[in-house]
Amino acid sequence: MALKQEITNLPELVNKLKKKDRELFNRFYSIKLSVGMLKVTPEMENFVKNRFKSIEKTENQKIVCINNKFTWEGNLFNELRSMRPKPKTKFMPSELDNKENCLFCNIEKQTPLDIFGRIKGKHCITASNIAKYDKFHGLIIFKEHNPMKLKKTWLKDYLETAEKWFDQTDKSNKGMVNNFLIWNCLWRSSASIIHGHMQVTASETKYQKIIKLEEIYDQYKKKFKSDYFADLFKIHKNLGLGEKIGKSMVLYYLTPIKEKEIIILSKEKKFSEMGGLIYGLIENYFRIGVQSFNISITNIKGYWMVRLVDRGSLENRNSDIGAMELYGNSVVAYDPFRLAKEIKI
């Protein structure tokens, strides 16, 4: 019987790799497979069968711990956690089209502008963030109110407008070394306003997580005479978790920060040239039920790094981030092998 491509079989999947590929994996990652055991009371049996489908799997839960030895990213995978009961509030899709009292629907009067003015795209316009967390902190506000309504041409325009904003900040203040773009889509991702918008920052100092990745890249190159990101992609591709799309490498990430994380590493000249690929991934997200997500884009050692992550159902009342994610390892339910099969690009 063929070995199933799933995270609980990761140790066996790695052992089946060619020797040099297995050694490369082990250079990057450590894996620990354990079984969490419990006893289901007779009174709980019906609940467990309905909720978790199997008493045996509930009483003997396979848990995979995987750690990146360079970045110290770590994950605990247990698919049963996705089946836990979660408190919900009723959500109506029509809420996303409600424009009443929306400041971003009246951008030029209800939002501040940057010191260099506004930049207008075909499908968006910039504003200055009124509560900044960096020297230059702007907004790319979409003309379409509902962020779940998206077209490829619109997204390309949002990204091109962001590039123009970064160019303008550099002209206004030479020495900007850190350009960072984020999109928090809807309230589960921490967006405070429904109306679709991205955030852009430019600063004279780099953020610590970016500095750390750059240090890892340099140290890896010095020690192994190889490219950290290229080898990271090679590991994922060897396991069926990576694919090359033009100048971009797509990774269904082995150590995701949270559910369904996808990373793009690209040598495109401009990040807007990845617009079609990013759009395709977002459309796939929507198709498999993602409603709220985070995206970030930055440049690290000549690579554009794009990260996308699912933030959960808009009906969920509980947070997807707890003390484990803040102070321990990320606890993840969604199998990256399943994600790789579901995404069609």
Quick one: tokens of 54? 């199997």
What is the predicted pLDDT for the residue at 74? 97
Beta strands in the chain (DSSP E): 29-37, 60-68, 74-77, 124-128, 136-142, 178-185, 197-203, 242-245, 248-252, 262-266, 293-300, 303-310, 330-332
Backbone torsions φ then ψ of 86, nearest 5 degrees: -130, 130
Which of the four pLDDT bands, split at 50, 70 and 90, describes residue 94? confident
Q: Is 63 helix (H, G, I), strand (E, B) or coil?
A: strand
**Domain limits for position 216:** 7-87+209-262+310-342
User: Which candidate, 86, 180, 104, 111, places its Cα nearest to that of 147?
Assistant: 104
Contact 158, 142 (CB under 8 A): yes
Contact 117, 166 (CB under 8 A): no
Residue 220 lies in a domain: yes
Quick one: tokens of 7? 């995270």
Which of the four pLDDT bands, split at 50, 70 and 90, describes residue 87? low
Quick one: tokens of 205? 């100092």
In this predicted model, what pLDDT tens digit does every residue of 136-175 receive, in sequence order?
999 999 999 999 999 999 999 999 999 999 999 999 888 8
d(CA 45, CA 25): 41
Residue 255 lies in a domain: yes
On the CB side of 86, how many CA atoms lie within 13 Å of its CA?
16
Quick one: tokens of 193? 């306003």
Quick one: tokens of 140? 């790319």
What is the predicted pLDDT for the residue at 88? 64
Residue 290 lies in a domain: no
What is the predicted pLDDT for the residue at 12? 96
d(CA 162, CA 143): 14
Burial (CB < 10 A; 0-12, 13-18, 19+), residue 92, is: exposed
What is the predicted pLDDT for the residue at 86? 62
In this predicted model, what pLDDT tens digit does every residue of 265-292 receive, in sequence order?
999 999 999 999 999 999 999 999 999 9
Residue 329 has pLDDT above 80, yes or no: yes
What is the predicted pLDDT for the residue at 283? 98
Contact 220, 226 (CB under 8 A): yes
Residue 114 lies in a domain: no
Which of the four pLDDT bands, split at 50, 70 and 90, describes residue 332? very high
First to last CA, the chain: 29
- Longest Cα–Cα distance of the chain, Å, equals 70
What is the length of the chain?
A: 345
Count each helix (H run) and each strand (E run) in the chain, helices first: 11, 13
CB atoms within 10 A of CB 282: 20
Residue 226 lies in a domain: yes
What is the predicted pLDDT for the residue at 160? 99
Residue 161's H or E segment, with its range, is helix 152-172
Distance of CA 94 to the CA centre of its chain: 26
Residue 253 lies in a domain: yes
Backbone torsions φ then ψ of 300, nearest 5 degrees: -130, 110
pTM as predicted? 0.94
Residue 223 lies in a domain: yes
What is the predicted pLDDT for the residue at 153? 98
Burial (CB < 10 A; 0-12, 13-18, 19+), residue 151, is: exposed
Top pLDDT among 81 and 205 is at 205
Residue 126 lies in a domain: no
Residue 50 has pLDDT above 70, yes or no: yes
- Percent residues over pLDDT 90 in the chain: 85
In this predicted model, what pLDDT tens digit does every residue of 3-12 receive, in sequence order?
899 999 999 9
Residue 1 has pLDDT above 70, yes or no: no
Average confidence (pLDDT) over 20-47: 96
Q: Look up residue 252 and give its amino acid.
A: Y
Total domain count, the chain = 1
